[in-house]
Amino acid sequence: MSTKNNAHVVRQALLLGLFSTLGPFTIDMYLPAFPEIVERFGTTASLVQLSLTACLLGLGIGQLVMGSLSDVHGRRTPLLISMAVYVIASLGCAFSPHIGVLIACRFVQGFAASAGIVISRAIARDLYEGHELTRFFSLLLLVGNLGPLVAPVAGSGILAFSSWIGVFVALSLLGIYLWIMTKWRLKETLPMERRSPSNFKQQLRNYGTLLRDRQFVGYMLAQGIMIAGVFAYVSGTPFIYQNIYGASPTLFALLFGSNGISLIIGSQIVGRASHRISERAFLLFGLWMALFASVAVLIVAYVHGPLFTLVIPLFVFVASIGMTSTAAFPLAMESQANMAGSAAALLGVIPFLLGAVVSPLVGIAGEDTAVPLGVIILATSAAAMLAYFLLVRSGRTAEQS
């Protein structure tokens, strides 16, 4: 590949990566403000965590809708509308009069943000396939994973001179910027002849076809269940680091943001070595890596070990997510060129729906123990491993016999 082509690919990855960061920023940027929001509304930690759950539900359900719409109407139009809705919902969060309104606005905000995630991935499949898709997707994740790294630090910085309201005002400004980028910089990548008919039943049939594909479902569940474990980590660590270990909002943001580095490491290892080591080998290695790291987290949580003994295995656990996500996506998408939006939507919706279920469970035993976090990420790691062996590995064995 020429230097000119390399530069073009990098520019594409930077642009699409900006839309991928919208999800992490929407999820992570207000995390350092959790204790402040609890105090502001006179509510409980569980209800504030429910606002995260609402956002995850919106992100999950929205991807199903936006993925289908992008297969029918192209990539640009649904993205433009979604960015406008995102701005309005972010301002609604900022000026919510009570916790119920905040939860509702967080759902709408997540729904709108989902377009950035699913459509950017569908565009990647429009443009690339095979190992080129793996390498491009790793570049996309390199940019997108800066979101978890930067978002809590940015949120903490805003909280240093403003209240939690400032966080949502900043998110509305991000939405305006992305609307401008969509309008003036993003080209349509889905030609009319490749678009799906504007037929609701046909869209349902597309999803039915994908869900009957054993290999696709196996990769989807392996990736989705693993990422659900990360959402448990996202929901639990604001209280674990700050309430149990006494970390300041700034230290929490640094510790939390450091795991953006681990995501980048995991994804870039796969992207750079995919031409030498198969994506399936990376996926299996990442699943084993997550299993061992989650066992270590549970042990540390049970004995209430020092903070660094918890941070290290969590760093490894999150790195395994970067590895498994980068490997599973191209494997699942390789035969879905005509349903890229719908396939990307299913790959995106499962993590958020499962994450919405497990996130509130982290606080089920109160704010003074990290044991539920250890139990949940161990359970998700084991379940992802089981999905891989029962659906992907056994399916390939059946095909070869």
Q: What is the structure's pLDDT at 188?
A: 85
Q: Cβ neighbours of residue 323 under 8 Å, at least 6 residues apart?
A: 266, 267, 269, 270, 282, 283, 285, 286, 289
d(CA 49, CA 290): 24
Residue 349 has pLDDT above 70, yes or no: yes
Angle at 268 between CA 316 and CA 79, to 5 degrees: 105
In angstroms, the CA 71 to CA 339 distance is 7
pLDDT at position 132, please? 78
CATH of domain 10-186+206-400: 1.20.1250.20
User: Is 400's pLDDT higher than 60?
Assistant: no
Question: Domain limits of the chain?
Answer: 10-186+206-400
Q: How confident is the model over 274-314, as pLDDT tens digits?
A: 778 888 899 999 999 999 999 999 999 898 888 889 999 99
> pTM for this structure?
0.70
Which residue reads 């700034």 in tokens?
A: 250
329 or 385: which carries more pLDDT confidence? 385
